[in-house]
Amino acid sequence: MTEFLVVFLALYIWHGLGVTIGYHRLLSHRSFTCIKPLEYFFVLGGYLAFEGSPIWWATMHRAHHRHVDTELDPHSPRFGGVWNAYVGWTMYKTYPEHIDPNTQGKDLLKDPIYRFLDQGGDWTKAHMLNFAFGIGLRVAMYFVFGWQVALASILASVAVLQIPLLLNVVCHMPKAGYKNYGGADDSVNVWWVAVLAMGEGWHNNHHMFPGSARSGLKLHEIDVSWIILRVCKWFNWVGYMNEAVVPRFEAKQFAAKQKAALLAQLPEMPKLPEFQMPEMPQLPEFSMPRMPEMPKLPEFQMPEFQMPELADLKLPKLPEMPKLSDFQMPEIAMLQDLQLPELPQLPNLADLHLPELPELPEIPGLQKPNLAQS
Ligand SMILES: [Zn+2]
Ligand SMILES: [Zn+2]
């Protein structure tokens, strides 16, 4: 029995990681890079849990994210009902028109092993191949290790097969869990799905950060797949890992909500009696002691100052001014006494002999002035 349980648990973990790390976080979302043997180790774990062709799985899952909770979503409980969201969507024979691995899964088609498992995109053939491979391996296990190991293996794989199918339904039912982030889709975080699905139940976080190799973002959101990836990184089997960074304001919002929730849980404090200030005793009236009287200062008397009388002032004697009557004006010479020089006598006008003027020629029309008259 112990052998059975140990094998079951070990294989459950391997198949579970095969789906979450191999099929989902690596092939569907390329949220990290790793060495090829590690990729095949995880993808094989998923394939042996009857997850079907990796190309088919990843292409359908990418379409789920692209059209989440719309009519084009291949498995939304909101459209098409719970049965279709659970397992009905896997039973179609071919892709719907809007989903095509040749355009939406080119990276997956590059791998020849995945191409072989995909059987040219024929769903039925690919599922049958997966089924035959899974059953054939368990038959071989039966012959090599006995029925307990073979049974533990087949049960572990069937149990793991349920997980993503269940997740597609439960983690898209708003009442089943909680949201860290808003958004138009119905995705929620469901803790017990996270436990069963190796950390994959933090589905609301995953829809917010689909490219993140880490889905559990809060302290209590334990993400086993992320822990395993960190271990692989330590061994250098994993290269780059894309990790969601929760924006600071959201972290603050979360802390504030938690604080409010904690405060709500605190018992009510008993009401304190009203505090009344005791009356203060009246203080005796305080009277200022009288100041001793200051001795009077003797009156200050200005010494009298007497101006000397003007009469008493002795001014120096000024010299005597000469009297005006004593002033003798110098005598001015009389005009009649002045002797003017004699002027020369002018000749008489009659004595003047003017030269005779020549006679002017006669000009017709012009009257000769009568000089004699003038
Ligand atoms: Zn989803
Ligand atoms: Zn996804």
Q: What is the pLDDT of residue 49?
A: 95
Residues 249 and 230: their CA atoms lie apart, in Å, by 26
Q: What is the pLDDT of residue 370?
A: 61
Residue type, 210: P
Dihedral, CA of residue 116, residue 169, residue 9 and residue 29, to nearest 10: 50
Q: How far is ligand 2, taken at its centre, from the CA of residue 20, in Å?
A: 9
Q: Which of 201, 143, 139, 145 is nearest to 168 (CA)?
A: 201
SS3 98: coil
Q: How far is ligand 1, taken at its centre, from the CA of residue 240, in Å?
A: 24
Q: How far is ligand 1, taken at its centre, from the CA of residue 139, in Å?
A: 35
How deeply is 207 buried, as exposed, middle or buried, from its count of CB atoms within 10 A (0-12, 13-18, 19+)?
A: buried
SS3 20: helix
Q: How far is ligand 2, taken at its centre, from the CA of residue 365, in Å?
A: 145
Q: How far is ligand 2, taken at its centre, from the CA of residue 23, in Å?
A: 10
Which of these ranges, 30-34, 91-95, 253-257, has the smallest mean pLDDT?
253-257
Which of these ranges, 124-138, 205-219, 322-336, has the smallest mean pLDDT?
322-336
Q: How far is ligand 2, taken at its centre, from the CA of residue 55, in Å?
A: 14
Residues 232 and 39: their CA atoms lie apart, in Å, by 11
Is it the case that residue 374 has pLDDT exceeding 50?
Answer: no
> What is the per-residue pLDDT across 243-274, written as a single tens digit (0 to 9) for each?
987 765 566 666 677 777 777 777 776 777 78
Domain boundaries, the chain: 2-243
Q: How far is ligand 2, taken at its centre, from the CA of residue 37, in Å?
A: 23
H or E element, residue 102: helix 101-104
Could you tell me the two tokens for 20?
A: 């979450």
Q: How far is ligand 1, taken at its centre, from the CA of residue 171, in Å?
A: 7
Percent over 70 (pLDDT), the chain: 89
- Judged by its nearest atom, the ligand closest to the C-alpha of residue 177 is 1
pTM: 0.66
Alpha helices in 235-364 (DSSP H): 248-265
> What is the per-residue pLDDT across 141-167, written as a single tens digit (0 to 9) for each?
999 999 999 999 999 999 999 999 989
Q: What is the pLDDT of residue 132?
A: 97
> What is the per-residue pLDDT across 359-369, written as a single tens digit (0 to 9) for each?
766 776 666 65
Mean pLDDT of the chain: 86
Residue that wins the pLDDT comparison between 125 and 349: 125
Q: How far is ligand 2, taken at its centre, from the CA of residue 206, in Å?
A: 6
Is it the case that residue 60 has pLDDT exceeding 50?
Answer: yes
Residues 67 and 71: their CA atoms lie apart, in Å, by 8
